[in-house]
Every structure is written in structure tokens, then in C-alpha cells.
A and B are shown apart, each in its own frame.
Chain A
Amino acid sequence: DIVMTQSPLNLPVTPGEPASLSCRSSQSLLHNNGFHYLDWYVQRPGQSPQIVIYLGSLRASGAPDRISGSGSGTDFTLKISRVEAEDVGIYYCMQALQTPITFGPGTKVVVK
């Protein structure tokens, strides 16, 4: 199974400041179609998770353009250029390259 790790597990942020979240996989997530099968989801308090970034760097419909994804191989990053109050939640990375689909433990973003 591909093991997903995330850091940090807790991230206090100041509104208006940038934030950077890291995700690592135990194997490369590069598919033979050239895309990395790595997604990011945010779970806001009391809600189901929702997609924000897919295939490593593609922003999902409805995701704000202050959020971006990057990375390759086994190392990926989600960046929020200027944190807003609505960005509070737990961010999970997930690999869909092979089954079983696996998730990271999540990074909890809280506003200072």
C-alpha cells in the first residue's frame, strides 16, 4: 500500500499571510499518462471533505485561486497565498494511483 504522510499536523496561520502544507508518498504518484495522481481535500468543521486540487496541481471548480498545488514524484505542496477565515479546516492529501486509495493524516489549519 502507498503510505501518505503530511506535515505539519497543526498549522496556526495569520489571516492575510501565506501558508504551505506538505504531503509525501511512499512511492512515486506519476501515472504513465504524465499526471500525478495526488489530490487535496479540505474538510471544514461539520462538513464532508471537498476537493480543492486534483492531479497534483489542477484547481477544482469552486476552489479559490489563492490555493495552488505543486510537486512531483513523491513530494507535494499545497499553498494558500493569503489565508482567509474560510480556509480553516483539515486538509487531506490522497493518492489515487493505485488501490487501495490512501489518505494522509491531515493538516489542521487554524487561524491565530
Chain B
Amino acid sequence: QVHLIQSGAEVRKPGASVRVSCKVSDYPLSELSMHWVRQTPGKGLEWVGGFALQGGGPEYAQEFQGRVTFTADTSTDTAYMDLSSLRSEDTAVYYCVTLRQQQMIDFWGQGTLVTVSS
């Protein structure tokens, strides 16, 4: 069983950046494929992107390319998502998730609400 604990809600102005963290417990982060999914009332669930810590480059949904960066600190088992050039449409709940063998999302974090508002 993998537990994912995310950082708290954030409020940002348009054009700003945000970092969301995801602490992994009960499993080494280095053996996981960490991805991010966001949820909005209008668009539902959207895959943002992610990467496998054992190798292979990051993958991104096209609309986030150039604006999102995924990093991980294996010494603290914490994954990060940085999203820049925020706009109001980025207001969403962001989930960190583990993708098992590219087949299924087996664990979800509790979600982090990011609000973008002037």
C-alpha cells in the first residue's frame, strides 16, 4: 500500500507559478512512476503528465508542455509539480498519482486545490 500526502491549498495570481508537493510513504519513491492528474468541474479529470523515476523521460499533455516541470527528491521520497504562467483555467484540484506498469493508476493523493484569481 502506497500513501501519498500532498501539500495544502494554494492561491495565486494570473501569471504566477505554483509548486505542489507529494510525499510518498510506505514505498520507495525511486521505484514508482509518478504522475499528476487535475480535476475541474468543467473538464473533469485531465492527465497533466509524469515520469518513471527508474528511467525514461517525462511525458506531458500538450497543453502543459513548456509550463510544467516534474521533479523528485528520493532522499525525502517527495515528488513535485511546478506549474508556471498560471491562468484562471488552471484553477483545479491537482492529484499526484502512481501509474503502475503504464496500465493503471493504483494510488491517488488527497488532492491540492490551486486557485488562480486576480
Q: Give me the interface of A with B, judged by CB distance under 8 Å.
A: 35, 37, 39, 41, 48-51, 54-55, 60, 92, 94, 96, 99-106
B44-71 interface bits toward A, Cβ cutoff 8 Å, 1 = contact, 0 = none: 1111000000000001011000000000
- A48→B110 contact, CB < 8 A: yes
What is the CA–CA distance of A94 and B95 in the complex, to the nearest angstrom?
15
- A37→B103 contact, CB < 8 A: yes
Report A-chain residues with C-beta under 8 Å of the C-beta of B29: none
Which 4 pairs between the two chains have the least Cβ-Cβ distance?
A54-B104, A48-B108, A101-B47, A103-B45
Report A-chain residues with C-beta under 8 Å of the C-beta of B109: 48
Given contacts A37-B103, A48-B95, A55-B103, are A100 and B47 in contact (CB under 8 A)? yes
- B59→A99 contact, CB < 8 A: yes
18 pairs, A vs B, C-beta closer than 8 Å: A41-B105, A48-B108, A48-B111, A49-B45, A49-B108, A51-B104, A55-B103, A55-B104, A92-B44, A94-B45, A94-B105, A96-B102, A96-B104, A100-B62, A103-B44, A104-B44, A105-B44, A106-B45
B26 near A: Cβ within 8 Å? no
- B45→A92 contact, CB < 8 A: yes
What is the CA–CA distance of A35 and B59 in the complex, to the nearest angstrom?
23
Chain A facing B: main interface SS: loop
B46 (CB) vs chain A CBs: closest residue: A103
- How far is the CB of B6 from the nearest CB of chain A, in Å? 10
- How far is the CB of B97 from the nearest CB of chain A, in Å? 9
A39 (CB) vs chain B CBs: closest residue: B104
- How far is the CB of A36 from the nearest CB of chain B, in Å? 10
B34 near A: Cβ within 8 Å? no
What is the CA–CA distance of A55 and B104 in the complex, to the nearest angstrom?
8
What is the CA–CA distance of A102 and B99 in the complex, to the nearest angstrom?
13
**Among candidates B44, B103, B110, B111, residue contacting A106 with C-beta atoms closer than 8 Å:** B44
Given A49-B108, A96-B104, 15 further pairs, Cβ under 8 A: A35-B103, A39-B105, A48-B108, A48-B110, A48-B111, A49-B105, A51-B104, A51-B105, A54-B104, A60-B104, A96-B102, A99-B47, A103-B44, A103-B46, A103-B47
What is the CA–CA distance of A39 and B44 in the complex, to the nearest angstrom?
16
